[in-house]
Structure formats: C-alpha cells, structure tokens
A and B are shown apart, each in its own frame.
Chain A
Amino acid sequence: MMRTSRSGCAHPLDDLCAEVDRLWTNLIAAPPLHGWGNQPRAGFPAVNVRETDDALLVEAELPGLASGDVDVSVAGDELVLKGERAAGPKGSTGEGAAPDVVWHRRERGHGGFQRRIPLPVPVAAELVEARLVDGVLSIRCPKAPECQPRKVPVSAG
C-alpha cells in the first residue's frame, strides 16, 4: 500500500524509498563469503551436505581459518559451525598494516559466524569427525545406530 503525505497525495519519494529498501535487502542477502561481516550471520558458511547409508557428510569452505578457529558441535538435531576469521595478518585484511598502504580491492570479509544445519536423521554425536584442510572443512557425522541400515535375512519357506 502506498503511503500518503499529510496532504493526502502519495509522496513521489515513497516509491524510491521502498525500492532502495528492496535493493538493500538483496545486498544483505549476498552470496557466500560476501556475508563475512562483523556480526555473526546465519547462512554463512555455505555448506554441501550428502547422505550415505551410514553417515551424513557436511562440507564448507573456510579459507584462512586454522583448525583451532572453528568450533563444530552437535546440538539436538542440528550441527553447529562457529568460528571467526581474524582481521589481522592471518586474514590479511590489513588492519594495523603500515600507514603507506593503498587498498584497491577488499572483497575478503572477516569476523565471526555461526551456522546451524538441521540434521535429517539422528547422528552419533560422540563419533562426529571434522577436518580442516586447505580451507575446506569436512565433517563426517555417523548416523545413530538405530538409523543405520540393517540387513534382514530372508529365510526360505
């Protein structure tokens, strides 16, 4: 509904204002890695999830993070990824760098993130394994024993 000014006429800037709001919302919902900001955000990092007979395999790209910078946990029926990319030399986003530095591109974000990934089946939380190699986080969540496939022998009648 179009808002009207006190005189009863639609203000021409109202449309523009709504359009800017819409564009801004699209910007905030930008693709992965762009979302790396100062505020922990849902939706980052992007993940790929695969299911095998006995496990769920979760993968995420976290360049610039060492294994100690990421916290992986299972909370109820969710897998929680938490971490932070430093703004210092590790992330090379250059805060505290020499004063005669001129920036031409700053696309790599830094800051904290938290992502909760719903797990479609119960997993054995104590058996979850996570590895971070060359910026790729790989998590293997074995399914709970009651969800593992069980082969039923067929007897001849």
Chain B
Amino acid sequence: MVTMGSTAGTTPVSAAVDAGAALTYQPHVDVRVEQGDVVVVADMPGARTDAIDVSFADGVLSLHARVAARDLPGTALRQEYGIGDFRRSFRLGDGFDATGITATYSLGVLTVRVPKLAAVRPRKVPVQAS
C-alpha cells in the first residue's frame, strides 16, 4: 500500500529554517500514481541540474535542490519572496525499485518517477479454453 505522507508535515508551506543560516523552502508538488509507479513533480525554480539530489532510502523519497543566492546589485524596493534551497520528502513505503528511479529537471520543474517493483505489479493471467 502506498501511503503518501509527507515527512515534512510540521514544516510551514512556504518557509522553514534549515540547520544552516540559509532558508529552506518546501516546494509545491503534484504527486500521482500511474500504474503503480509514483510520479512526483516539484516546482524548484532557480536550481541547476547538478545541484539537485534525489534519494530513496528506507521507503522515503527525498528531494533537495540547492539554489545559489542571487546577489543582485542595488537596493531592494520590493521583496515578495525569498530565495533558498528546496527540500521535501515523501514516505512511499516498500515495493519500489530504487535502481529504476529516473529524474529530469526542465524549466525549473523536477519530475521524479519511482517505478514499482516488477514482483508487486499486478499480473494478468490469461485464461485458456480447455
């Protein structure tokens, strides 16, 4: 059974203080299950492909995108959002193929597909006429 509990349940949606000095944000996500595979789509603008960590351990999928500070010159007239790392994790449970996980980053959106283990996929058994 897939339980889609976010392990960051106590974290406010927009911002939380990480262990370091920089702020860490919880990205907005879409999570869907397609034929047993879990697909997570996360808005992580401003990251780079080589600065994104996707890991799966003990049934928990963790996403972490490091976002470098954008040091713009001048003085701030309007500051409506903060810039920092994105981090979020999901408890998926057992029955997933950790070696088959794929992740793509495009236009500031991370898409991760966690395939279901072949052993737990439903298998249709053909019924033969005798």
Contact = CB atoms under 8 A, between A and B. Distances in A.
Nearest to A54: B74
Interface string A68-95: 0000000000000000000000101110
Nearest to B15: A31
Contacts of A103: 30-32
Interface string B52-84: 000000000000000000101111111111000
A46 to B, nearest CB: 4
Contacts of B29: 105, 107-108
Contacts of A136: 45-46, 70, 108
Contacts of A61: 43, 45-46, 81, 108
Given A101-B32, A134-B47, A50 B81 contact: no
Contacts, number: 122
25 contacts: A31-B14, A47-B80, A48-B78, A49-B77, A50-B77, A52-B74, A57-B72, A57-B73, A62-B108, A63-B44, A64-B108, A92-B41, A92-B111, A97-B32, A100-B34, A101-B32, A102-B33, A103-B32, A107-B29, A108-B29, A120-B77, A134-B45, A134-B46, A136-B45, A136-B108
Interface of A: 31-34, 46-53, 55-57, 59, 61-66, 90, 92-94, 97-98, 100-109, 117, 120, 134-136
Given A31-B14, A108-B43, 18 more contacts: A32-B81, A46-B80, A49-B76, A50-B73, A51-B77, A53-B74, A61-B45, A64-B108, A64-B109, A98-B34, A103-B30, A104-B33, A105-B4, A117-B78, A135-B43, A135-B108, A136-B45, A136-B108
